[in-house]
Chain A
Amino acid sequence: MIAGVVSAQDETVLVVGHAESTDSLDPARGYTQTTGIINKVTYETLVTFPSDSASEIVPLLATDWTISEDGLTYTFNLRAGVTFANGDPLTADDVVFSVNRLANVVGNPSFLAANIASVTADDEDTVTFVLNAVDPAFLSNLSNSAFGITNDAQVIDAGGSAAEDAATADAAETFLNGTSAGTGPYILEAWESDVQTVLVRNPTYWGTAPFFDRIIIVNIPEAATQAVALESGEIDIALDLTSDQMPGFEGNADIAVASVPGNIVHFLLMNNNPDIGGPMSNPLVQRAVRLALDYEGFATLWGGINPGTIMAVGQQYAFTPEQGIARDLDAARALLTEAGYPEGFDITLQYPTFTFQGVNMDTNAQKIQSDLAEVGINVTLEPGELSVSLEQYRTGQQGFGYWFWGPDVLDSIDVLSFLPGGKVGAERANWTDENSEAVIQELREAARVATDPAEREQLFTDIQTYLQENGPWAPFLQPNVQTAFRADLQGYVWHPQWLIDLAILSR
Chain B
Amino acid sequence: MPIYLFIFRRILFTIPLLLGITVVAFILANAVPADPINANLPSNQLNNPELVEAFRREWGLDKPPVEQYLTYLGNLLQGNLGRSIRSRQPIAEDIGRFLPATIELSTVATILGVTFGVSFGVISAVWKNTPVDFLVRTLGLIGISVPLFVLALVGLTVFHAELGWVAGPGRLSVRLSPPPNVTGMYLIDSLLAGQWNVFQDALSRLILPSMVLALYITGMISRITRSSMLDVLRADYIRTARSKGLRERFVVLRHGLSNAMIPIVTAIGLSYGVLLAGAVLTESIFAWPGIGRYMFSASTGQDFPAIMGVSILIAFIYVVVNLVVDVLYYFLDPRVRAA
Which residue numbers of A lie inside 8 Å of B, CB to CB?
A: 1, 3-7, 13, 15, 23, 29, 31, 106-108, 110-111, 114, 167-168, 173-174, 192-196, 216, 218-222, 224-225, 228-229, 231-232, 234, 385-388, 390-391, 394
Asked if A222 and B285 make an inter-chain contact with CB atoms under 8 angstroms apart, the answer reads yes
Task: Please state if B287 and A218 are interface contacts (CB–CB under 8 Å).
Answer: yes
Contacts of B183 in A (CB 8 A): none
**A6, A221, A391: the one within 8 Å of B177 (CB):** A6
Judge whether A225 and B156 touch: CB under 8 Å. Answer: yes
A218 to B177, CA, bound (A): 13
- Which B residues are closer than 8 A to A by beta carbons? 32-35, 38-39, 42-45, 48, 51, 54, 86-88, 98, 153, 156-157, 160-161, 164, 167-170, 173-177, 179-180, 193, 195, 197-198, 284-287, 289, 293-294, 297, 300-302
Q: Is the CB of A193 within 8 A of B35?
A: no
Instruction: Collect the chain A residues with CB atoms within 8 Å of residue B300's CB.
Output: 386-387
- A394 near B38 with CB under 8 A, answer yes
Task: Evaluate contact between A221 and B284: CB separation under 8 angstroms.
Answer: yes
Q: Which residues of A contact B167 (CB under 8 A)?
A: 234
Q: Report chain B residues within 8 Å CB of A394.
A: 38, 43
CA distance A501 to B299 in the complex (A): 31
A31 and B164 alpha carbons, distance in the complex (Å): 38
Distance in angstroms between the alpha carbons of A387 and B297 in the assembled complex: 12
Q: Which residues of A contact B285 (CB under 8 A)?
A: 222, 224-225
Cα(A15)–Cα(B287), bound, Å: 14
Q: Which residues of A contact B161 (CB under 8 A)?
A: 228, 231-232
CA A222 to CA B285, docked complex, whole Å: 6
Q: A5-B176, A6-B176, A111-B44 are in contact. Are A234 and B169 (CB under 8 A)?
A: yes
Contact: B34 with A387, CB < 8 Å? Answer: yes
B287 & A23 in contact (Cβ 8 Å cutoff): no
Chain A hits for B48, CB < 8 A: 106
Q: In the complex, are the beta carbons of A218 and B160 less than 8 A apart?
A: no
Pairwise interchain contact B35-A106, C-beta atoms closer than 8 A = no
Does the CB pair A388–B34 fall under 8 Å?
yes
Q: List 9 A-B contacts (CB under 8 A).
A: A4-B176, A5-B175, A23-B86, A173-B88, A218-B174, A219-B289, A232-B164, A234-B170, A387-B302
By the criterion CB–CB under 8 Å, are B284 and A222 in contact?
yes
Q: Assuming A7-B175, A168-B54, A231-B161, is B287 touching A225 (CB within 8 A)?
A: yes
- CB B303 to nearest CB in A, in angstroms, measures 9
Interchain CB contact under 8 A, B174 and A196:
yes
CB contacts (< 8 Å) of B169 on chain A: these are 220, 225, 228-229, 234
Taking a contact as CB atoms under 8 Å apart, the answer to whether A1 and B177 are in contact is yes
In the complex, chain B residues whose CB is within 8 Å of the CB of A1: 177
Q: Which residues of B contact A229 (CB under 8 A)?
A: 168-169, 287
User: Which residues of A lie under 8 Å from residue B177 when comparing CB positions?
Assistant: 1, 4-6
A-B contact count (CB 8 A): 120
Closest A residue to B177 by CB, please name it.
A6
State the main secondary structure of chain A at its contact with B.
mixed
Residues of A within 8 A of B35 (CB): 391
| Other-chain residue from A173, A174, A193, A228 in contact with B156 (beta carbon distance below 8 A) | A228
Closest Cβ–Cβ distance, residue A171 to chain B (whole Å): 11
Cβ of B179: which chain A residues have Cβ within 8 Å of it?
A: 3-4
* A110/B293 in contact, CB under 8 A: no
| Distance between A163 CB and nearest chain B CB, rounded to angstroms | 15
Given A106-B51, A228-B169, the answer on whether A221 and B33 have CB atoms closer than 8 Å is: no
Chain B residues within an 8 Å CB radius of A196: 174
**9 nearest interchain CB pairs?**
A108-B42, A234-B168, A4-B195, A195-B289, A220-B287, A216-B174, A231-B161, A228-B156, A391-B34
Look across to chain B and name the residue whose beta carbon is closest to the beta carbon of A23. B86
Q: Which listed residue, A3, A31, A221, touches B293 by the CB 8 Å rule?
A: A221
Task: Report the minimum CB–CB distance from B28 to chain A (whole Å).
Answer: 13
Residues of the A chain whose Cβ atoms lie less than 8 Å from the Cβ of B87: 23, 193
B47 to chain A, nearest CB (A): 10
Known: A174-B88, A194-B98. 9 other contacts (CB 8 A): A4-B176, A4-B197, A5-B177, A108-B44, A193-B87, A224-B285, A229-B287, A232-B161, A394-B43
Q: How far is the CA of A334 from the CA of B88 in the complex (A)?
A: 56
Complexed CA–CA distance, A107 and B42 (Å): 6
**Could you tell me the distance between the alpha carbons of A221 and B131 in the complex, rounded to whole angstroms?**
42
A224 lies within 8 A of B293 (CB): no
The closest CB in chain A to the CB of B286 belongs to A225
**In the complex where A23-B301, A106-B51, A388-B33 touch, is A219 in contact with B287 (Cβ < 8 A)?**
yes
Q: Are B33 and A232 in contact (CB under 8 A)?
A: no
C-alpha gap A194/B174 in the complex (Å): 14
B170–chain A nearest beta-carbon distance, Å = 6
> What separation, in Å, do the CA atoms of A7 and B177 have in the docked complex?
9
CA A108 to CA B98, docked complex, whole Å: 27
- A500 to B54, alpha carbons, bound, how many Å? 37
A218 to B174, CA, bound (A): 8
Given A1-B177, A23-B301: A221 in contact with B287 (beta carbons within 8 A) = yes
Query: Bound complex: CA of A3 vs CA of B191, how far in Å?
Result: 12
Task: Look across to chain A and name the residue whose beta carbon is closest to the beta carbon of B36.
Answer: A387
Query: Which chain B positions have C-beta within 8 A of A194?
Result: 98, 289, 293-294, 297
**How far apart sit A107 and B48, CA to CA, in the bound complex (Å)?**
12
The distance from the CB of A118 to the nearest CB of chain B, in whole angstroms, is 19
- Bound together, the chains give a CA A507 to CA B302 distance in angstroms of 41
- Given A225-B287, A391-B34, A232 and B44 contact (CB-CB distance below 8 Å): no
- Closest partner residue, chain B, to A234 (CB atom): B168
- Bound Cα distance from A4 to B287, whole angstroms: 21
The distance from the CB of A146 to the nearest CB of chain B, in whole angstroms, is 11
CB distance from B151 to the nearest CB of A (A): 13
Q: Give the residues in chain B near A106, CB-CB below 8 Å.
A: 42, 44-45, 48, 51
Query: A107 vs B293: C-alpha distance in the bound complex, in angstroms?
Result: 26
Task: Output the residue of B157, B179, B293 with the most chain A CB within 10 A.
Answer: B157
User: How far is the CB of B45 from the nearest CB of chain A, in Å?
Assistant: 5
- Cβ–Cβ contact A387 & B38, under 8 A: yes
Q: Give Cα A232 to B205, complex, Å.
A: 14
In the assembled complex, the Cα of A110 lies from the Cα of B46 at a distance in Å of: 13
When the two chains form their complex, are residues B157 and A387 in contact, meaning their CB atoms are under 8 A apart? no
Complex CA gap A23/B300 in Å reads 12
Q: What's the minimum C-beta distance from A486 to chain B, rounded to whole angstroms?
A: 14
Residues of A within 8 A of B174 (CB): 13, 15, 196, 216, 218, 234
For the complex, give the distance between the alpha carbons of A390 and B35 in Å: 11
Chain A residue with Cβ nearest B152: A225
A20 closest partner in B (C-beta): B297
Given A194-B293, A196-B174, A221-B293, does the pair A387, B39 have CB atoms closer than 8 Å? yes
A228 to B208, alpha carbons, bound, how many Å? 14
Q: How far is the CA of A106 from the CA of B193 in the complex (A)?
A: 46
Q: How far is the CB of B137 from chain A (nearest CB, A)?
A: 30
| A1 to B, closest residue via Cβ | B177
Tell me whether A391 and B44 are in contact (CB under 8 A).
no
Assembly CA distance A222 to B180 (angstroms): 29
From B40, which residue of chain A is reached at the shortest CB distance?
Answer: A23
Q: Which residue of B lies closest to A111 (CB)?
A: B44
Give the Cβ gap from A13 to chain B, nearest Cβ, in Å. 7
What distance in Å separates the Cβ of A130 from its nearest Cβ neighbour in chain B? 21
CB distance from A409 to the nearest CB of B (A): 14
User: Quick check: B51 and A167 within 8 Å, CB to CB?
Assistant: yes
Q: In the complex, A5 Cα to B44 Cα: how many Å?
A: 45
Could you tell me if B157 and A228 are in contact, using CB atoms closer than 8 angstroms?
A: yes
